[in-house]
Structure 1
Amino acid sequence: MSDTTTGGMRRGAALMASGTAVSRVLGLLRAQVLILAIAATGEAADAFSVANKLPNILYMLLAGGVLNAVLVPQVVRAYRRDAGQEYVDRLLSLGFAILAVVTLVLTLAAPLLVQLYTKGGDPAQVDLAVTFAYWCLPQLFFYGAYALLGQVLNARGSFGPFMWAPVVNNIVSISGFFAFILAFGGFESSGLREASAWGPSQVALLAGSATLGVIVQAVVLLPAMRRAGVHLRFRWGLRGSGLGRAGTVATWTFVGLGIGQLAFIVVSRVSWAAGHAPGVDQTVAGNAAYDPAFTVFMLPHSLVTVSLATALFTRLSQQAHDGDVDGVRASMSYGLRVVGLFTIIATAVIAVLAVPVTRVVLLSDQGSVDAVAGVVLAMIVGLPWFGAWSLSQRTYYAYEDAKGMIPIQVAMAAVVVAGTLLGQALLPPSAWVACAGASMSVSYVLGALASQWHLRRRLGTVDGPRVVRTHARALVAALVAVGVGLLTLRVLQAALSDGVVAALVECAVVGGLMSAIYVGGLRVLRVSELDGLLGPVIRRLRAGRR
Structure 2
Amino acid sequence: MGTPDVTAEPGPPPPPPGGEGEGGGGEGGGRRGGASGLLRSGAIMAVGTLASRLTGFLRTAMLVAALGTGALADAYNTANTVPFIVYDLLLGGILTAVVVPLIVRARERDEVYGARYEQRLFTLAVLGLALMTTVAVLLGPVFISIYGGSMEGAQRDLAVLFARLFAVQIFFLGVSAFSGAILNTRKRFAAPMWAPVLNNIVICCTAGAFLLVATGRVSPESITDGQVALLAGGTIGGMALQTLALWPSLRGSGFRWRPRLDFKKGELGQIGKMAVWTLAYVVITQIGFAVTTRLANSAGVLGREQGLGDVGYTPYFNAYQLFQLPYAIIGVSVITALLPRMSEHAAAGRMAEVRDDFSSGLRLCSVVILPAAGLMGVLASEITVVLFAHGQTSVANAQVIAEVLRMFAIALVPFAAYQLMLRVFYSMQDTRTPTFIGIGVVITNITMALTAYAVLPTNKIIVGIAGGFAIAQTAGAVLGWAILRRRLGGMDGRRIFVSYLKLAVALWPLIGFAYATHAVVDAALGAGLASGLIALVAGSVGGGLLYLVFARMMRVEEVGSMLSMVTRRLPGRG
TM-score w.r.t. length of structure 1 = 0.96
1:460 to 469, 489, 503: 489
Matched residue type, 1:195: P
The residue that corresponds to 1:156 in the other structure is: 186
1:417 to 427, 446, 470: 446
Report how far residue 357 of structure 1 moved: 0.2
Report how far residue 461 of structure 1 moved: 0.5
SS at structure 1 position matched to 2:557: coil
Question: Which range moves more in the overlay, 54-63 or 91-100?
Answer: 54-63
Could you tell me whether the CA contact under 8 Å between 1:385 and 1:445 is conserved in 2?
A: yes
Matched residue type, 2:330: V
The answer as to 2:164 corresponding to 1:138 is no
Deviations for 1:304-351, whole angstroms, at most 9, x for unmatched residues?
000111011111111111111111010000011111221111000111
1:295 to 321, 325, 329: 321
> Within 2, Cα distance between the matches of 1:6 and 1:466?
13
Report how far residue 484 of structure 1 moved: 2.2
Question: Which range moves more in the overlay, 141-150 or 245-254?
Answer: 245-254
SS at structure 1 position matched to 2:569: helix
Aligned length: 539
> Within 1, Cα distance between the matches of 2:239 and 2:308?
30
Could you tell me whether the CA contact under 8 Å between 2:136 and 2:164 is conserved in 1?
A: no
Output the aligned Cα RMSD: 1.6
Alignment of 1:111-150 (within 5 A): 111-150=141-180
> Within 2, Cα distance between the matches of 1:446 and 1:497?
39
Deviations for 1:356-400, whole angstroms, at most 9, x for unmatched residues?
001112123122012111111111111011110011011011011
> Within 2, Cα distance between the matches of 1:8 and 1:336?
14
Report how far residue 173 of structure 1 moved: 1.1
> Within 2, Cα distance between the matches of 1:282 and 1:166?
36
SS at structure 2 position matched to 1:195: coil
The answer as to 2:524 corresponding to 1:498 is no
Matched residue type, 1:435: G
SS at structure 2 position matched to 1:83: helix
> Within 2, Cα distance between the matches of 1:409 and 1:319?
25
CA 1:374–1:498: 2 relative to 1, 3 Å: closer
CA 1:151–1:83: 2 relative to 1, 3 Å: same
Matched residue type, 2:296: S
The residue that corresponds to 1:226 in the other structure is: 251
The residue that corresponds to 1:309 in the other structure is: 335
Matched residue type, 1:384: V
Deviations for 1:84-138, whole angstroms, at most 9, x for unmatched residues?
1111100111111111101110111000011011222331110010011112111
Report how far residue 488 of structure 1 moved: 2.1
SS at structure 1 position matched to 2:221: helix
The answer as to 2:86 corresponding to 1:61 is no
> Within 2, Cα distance between the matches of 1:534 and 1:411?
39
The answer as to 2:75 corresponding to 1:47 is yes
Report how far residue 468 of structure 1 moved: 1.4
> Within 1, Cα distance between the matches of 2:96 and 2:259?
22
Question: Which range moves more in the overlay, 55-64 or 198-207?
Answer: 55-64
Report how far residue 526 of structure 1 moved: 1.6
2:420 to 391, 406, 419: 391
Report how far residue 6 of structure 1 moved: 4.1
> Within 2, Cα distance between the matches of 1:426 and 1:506?
34
> Within 2, Cα distance between the matches of 1:140 and 1:327?
37
The answer as to 2:95 corresponding to 1:71 is no
Could you tell me whether the CA contact under 8 Å between 1:284 and 1:429 is conserved in 2?
A: no
Report how far residue 282 of structure 1 moved: 6.6
> Within 2, Cα distance between the matches of 1:377 and 1:207?
32
The answer as to 2:345 corresponding to 1:319 is yes
The residue that corresponds to 1:521 in the other structure is: 550
Matched residue type, 1:299: L
> Within 1, Cα distance between the matches of 2:485 and 2:101?
21
Could you tell me whether the CA contact under 8 Å between 1:338 and 1:532 is conserved in 2?
A: no
The residue that corresponds to 1:333 in the other structure is: 359
Alignment of 1:412-491 (within 5 A): 412-491=441-520
Matched residue type, 2:153: P
Matched residue type, 1:312: L
State the identity %: 33
SS at structure 2 position matched to 1:79: helix
Matched residue type, 2:58: L
CA 1:325–1:25: 2 relative to 1, 3 Å: same
Deviations for 1:26-54, whole angstroms, at most 9, x for unmatched residues?
11111111111110x21111100100111
TM-score w.r.t. length of structure 2 = 0.91
The residue that corresponds to 2:430 in the other structure is: 401
The residue that corresponds to 1:98 in the other structure is: 128
Matched residue type, 1:287: Y
Q: Could you list the runs of 5+ residues in structure 2 that have no partner in the other structure?
A: 1-27
The answer as to 2:309 corresponding to 1:283 is yes
The residue that corresponds to 2:370 in the other structure is: 344
Report how far residue 535 of structure 1 moved: 4.4
> Within 1, Cα distance between the matches of 2:141 and 2:152?
15
